[in-house]
Amino acid sequence: MQGEIKVFKVTGEMMLSHDSFPEWRKFTIYVRALKESDALEKAFSVLGSRHKLKRRHIRVASVTALSPDEVDDVRVKALSQMTRVM
């Protein structure tokens, strides 16, 4: 079972410095996935590992599928344009 890999834009808020002075900050992250649920899982994983956040400290506002032309992230755009693995 093979599907087409899409680019998703995940936006929302995350709580930084949840111990001393909690502050909600907006985020936008681009991820590649087969389904919307996979993109959401990847976003939780990336934000949790980068900022040491629990899932309860991440509020997702929207998950939207984009065409490769609408992507701002250079790394994700380059991965989308690859035709073969070297």
**Residue of 27, 32, 63, 73 lying closest to 48 (CA atoms):** 27
What is the reported pLDDT for 41? Answer: 97
For 55-65, write each residue's pLDDT tens digit: 999 999 999 99
Q: Tokens in use for 58?
A: 């991440």
**How far apart are the C-alpha atoms of 7 and 76, rounded to whole Å?**
8
CB atoms within 10 A of CB 85: 4
For 2-50, write each residue's pLDDT tens digit: 678 899 999 999 999 877 888 999 999 999 999 999 999 999 999 999 9
What is the reported pLDDT for 17? Answer: 83
